[in-house]
Amino acid sequence: MKCTSKIRVIALITAAAALVSGCGSKSYEYAFDVNNNKSAFRYETSNKNDTVSSFAEDLAVVSGDIIAGDEVATGENSYGSALLVNADTNDVLFSKNATAQMYPASMTKVMTAIVALENEDVDKVLTADAACVMTAGDVQKIGLQVGDTMTLDQALHILLIYSANDVAVLIADNIAGSVDAFADMMNEKAKEIGATNTHFVNPHGLHDENHYTTAYDMYLMFNEACKSDLFTQIINMQEYSTEYKNSSGTAVGFSCSNTNRFLKGLVKAPTNITPIGGKTGTTLAAGSCLVMLSKDTKGASYISCVMKGYNIDATYGKTTKMLEIIER
């Protein structure tokens, strides 16, 4: 993997600041510069009444590891990186290797959903072409064939709940015209929200050495996605059933359950913590991954991310241990 930036939390900063004296106003533009660390922090002019707000003022900023308790470096309970953020206060509660570039697997589909929701109406009808047909037996798919149709709303549900890779291609092709063009849109959006250590080459996360992100960037992307009510509604669903149409117009039924083990009841969250939903991801190179939104009894929101878990048990085990920090 190659690094795309010398700093970790930066993006376009364009903000207008008003003079508190009420005598007038001045507008400042502070251009995005990946090599300038002022981009992530508050900037002041010579007149202390004039300020430009930081891009990151409403985001958590990771400056290093924040470890709680004993950590496992190798073996069946190990993982590559992890992060826990209070999404309401922007406090980082746990951080380990959060800015290390790793493979995201199907967590990629968080950004796929962001770009889709930003660029197309959910009622748009999508049509499958040859690129959507996947024949490999070990690839998560619903078995799309040329001419199959469904709405973007249906596609987003199948994408986020069942993690179908052929549906990810369906979305990309119909919005951007091709997987490559859609990946460009994903990368542009990643930069816009500050995920500058991220690079996508596809909308599904099947392995490519040039397709990578970090736990911190996943927090930024997932935080952005959760601004959509539809996104949070979908990731909270335990099951989903629908009918799409094949090329002859015949209805094809499809049902699935959420891949999130917390929502399936296979893993128990700590007392007083409610997992809302998230996105899983697993490939041989990426290991087991999970980014998730949870809430405490007061309604406060938390975003957790674990990447490159040794196996699925390690990933959910580490997620549970991080959620236990909230209770303390």
Q: State whether the Cα torsion 201-204-205-206 is positive or negative.
A: negative
Catalytic residue (one of 39, 81, 95, 106): 106
- Counting Cβ atoms within 10 Å, is residue 49 exposed (0-12), middle (13-18) or buried (19+)? middle
How would you class 215 by CB atoms within 10 Å of its CB: exposed for 0-12, middle for 13-18, buried for 19 or more? Answer: buried
Residue 161 carries which side chain, given as an amino acid letter? I
Beta-carbon contacts of 161 under 8 Å, excluding residues fewer than 6 positions away, are 234, 235, 237, 239, 240, 256, 257, 258, 259
Tokens of 326: 């909230």
106 is catalytic: yes
Cα–Cα distance, 312 to 136 (Å, whole number): 22
109 part of the active site:
yes
What does the block give as tokens for 219?
Answer: 């927090």
CA distance 24 to 285: 56
Q: Judge whether 247 counts as a catalytic residue.
A: no
The two structure tokens encoding residue 167: 């549906």
Catalytic annotation, pick one of 96, 109, 279, 308: 109
Q: Residue 179: which of 134, 235, 224 has the closest Cα?
A: 134
> 134 with 142: CB under 8 angstroms?
no
- Residue among 81, 163, 288, 304 flagged as catalytic: 163
Query: In a 3-state reduction of DSSP, which class is residue 305?
Result: strand
Active-site residue set: 106, 109, 163
